[in-house]
Amino acid sequence: MCGIVGWIDWENDLTSQTSTLKQIADTLCHRGPDAQGEWLSRHAALAHRRLEVIDPANGGQPMLYQVGQRTYALTYNGELYNFRELKRELETRGYRFRTQSDTEVLLAAYAEWGEDCVQHFNGIFAFGLWDEQRQQLLLARDHLGVKPLYYAQRGNTILFGSELKALLAHPLIKAEVDVRGLVELFAFRHTPGSAIYRDIHELRPAHKAVCNHNGMRISRYWSLHSEPHTDDLPTTAEHIRTLLRDIVKRQLIADVPVVAMLSGGLDSSGLTALAAAEFKQEGKQLHTYSIDYVDSAQHFQGSSIRPSLDAPWVQRVSDYAGTMHHTVTVDTPELIENMLVPLHAYDLPGVGQGWASLYLLFKRMKQDAKVALSGESADEVFGGYPWFHSEAAFNAQTFPWMAEMATTRGSRHSRSLMAWLAPDVAQKVNPLEYMNQQYRSAIAEVPRLDGEGAREARMREIFYLNLTYFLPMLLDRKDLMSMATGFEVRVPFCDYRLVEYVWNIPWEMKTTGNIEKGILREALTGILPDDARKRKKSAYPTSQNPTYVNAVRDWTLEIVNDANAPAQSLMNTQVVRAVAEGKVPGLPDEATAFLCERVIQTNEWLKDYHVTLSV
């Protein structure tokens, strides 16, 4: 895993721009603390900041590859889990390799198949590949969008990078946000392809872009296809089990230590058990890690989304799988101290403690390893969230998680999450029509199955919305918080082969046993103990300690009372003060903390990034 940067200019000579290129790339040193490199030609400048995982000695980048008179240069972030098979195939076609890295395999794949090389990849990746003879750039991003890739065009110049900060460091790019950006930031979050800042874009998952002096051509290289599912229940469960074993085995490949995240929930527990079995075959013990909070048992209040504490289940699965477990316990002072880490990782206001606590977990894990497995995307792939099982969300003509929020938390609570904005700003940001427009666009993309019943068709829509609009937020969080500490996290449930197969499993079979993710539970029979396998889903834990809510309230009041605070231009001071002083009857602590976190991070964002707002 790494940080990548590229600067293409078809009109000007870039060979003298080494200093500027290094300054831009150095904004990503946290992503790649182990090595660095730059490569410049007349019209292309590529840079790389490396986290050494595969072939540390020989996998440096940007990597050059020559075939005859052709020269290719690559800056690449990610892992190809099938690089060994690809290497063998390419060797039969006459290619010879000087390294053991997947980077060289990617370059040879391009030499053989051109831009269609992405059709051959199984992995997580974002890369920029410059074809010197053609004077052409290929950008590509993995199937589910595990690795980020942003780009911007300014005249004859194209810039790209792993994070927004790399683009914002270039003299041509300004931190400008218009009304649409504010809608995305404060009300929607976010449309695929949007990057909030004006005229900066995110390359969508499963897309590639071919750029030359004639312009940019963006196309989709992979998509889900709807077709009848013909396997019976036992065959389906066995196929999922077989896929997961293969996926985990592939994703354990590394030349550095690999560990696993373990929350005691179904997803991480299943991956842990499979990985631990692989480790045992090699005579090794898997190390696992979980997050907890000081006095969590004392302050825990069960809810529909967090029905039980994780700790007992973590221990149950660790004992069963035979892992060496580590619990990372954090307290309010650490959460407050690291409140702004998500902002500076994301280059946009984040969500607060849900991101900061994950950063603290990864920071501790990095002391022992460089790579971990995580269970992200299982809920989107298999249907684990409450809104998959809610009639209100099923019937609502909007994004299901928003319908679920309005139902479970009340429309008053939902509105309060926007009420902190000043009336004139809220009027311009008014998300309803924008949200409806995005919903209609998303629904229009859903791959339909002819003859499918109304209920199955609607469930297919809900799955598609989760995979394309909800999952990106979690993958961004995972990538940015892990890479902020130079740590790679792999997500086996994002393997496109698994996603393709599960996509067509009927809803009734997905919920076999009348429980969420029933088919996954069935597939993990014999891999997990039955009690852990049947544990009801519990969301990622957050601190319920009142000291945390009080701390963010106090910080928010400092901003409210500072007439020069940048956020004053956006916020409804009266509302924010009432929330921070605890004078909004019935507003849960969770909602209070969320709103205060948003004010704190927005204020710091406007100040640190010198944002120009056009509203």
> CA 26 to CA 197: how far, in whole Å?
21
Residue 421 φ then ψ, to 5°: -75, 145
Looking only at the bridges linking them, the beta strands covering 207-212 and 136-141 are antiparallel
Q: Which two tokens stand for residue 389?
A: 């099982």
Dump strand ranges (E) for 294-381: 324-330, 371-373
> CA 463 to CA 73: how far, in whole Å?
38
**φ/ψ bin of 145: left (φ > 0), alpha (ψ from -120 to 50), beta (otherwise):** left
Handedness of CA 532, 537, 541, 547 (dihedral sign): negative
Preceding amide of 205 cis, omega within 30: no
> CA 331 to CA 419: how far, in whole Å?
29
- For residue 3, the cross-strand partners are 49
Query: Tokens 């911007």 sit at which residue?
Result: 152
Q: Are 39 and 64 in contact, with CB atoms under 8 Å apart?
A: yes
∠ CA 129-132-138, nearest 5°, is: 25
Query: Tokens 């009300």 sit at which residue?
Result: 187
Q: Which residues are catalytic?
A: 2
> CA 322 to CA 276: how far, in whole Å?
7
- For residue 194, the cross-strand partners are 201
CA atoms within 13 A on the CB side of 569: 14
The DSSP string of 26-87 is GGGTTT--SEEEEEE-SSEEEEEEE---S-TTT--SSEEEEETTEEEEEEEEEEETTHHHHH
Q: Which amino acid is at 243?
A: L
Which H helix or E strand runs over 88?
helix 83-92
Dump strand ranges (E) for 428-505: 488-490
DSSP 191: -
Looking only at the bridges linking them, the beta strands covering 136-141 and 123-131 are antiparallel
Nearest to 260 by CA among 276, 284, 249: 276
> CA 61 to CA 397: how far, in whole Å?
47
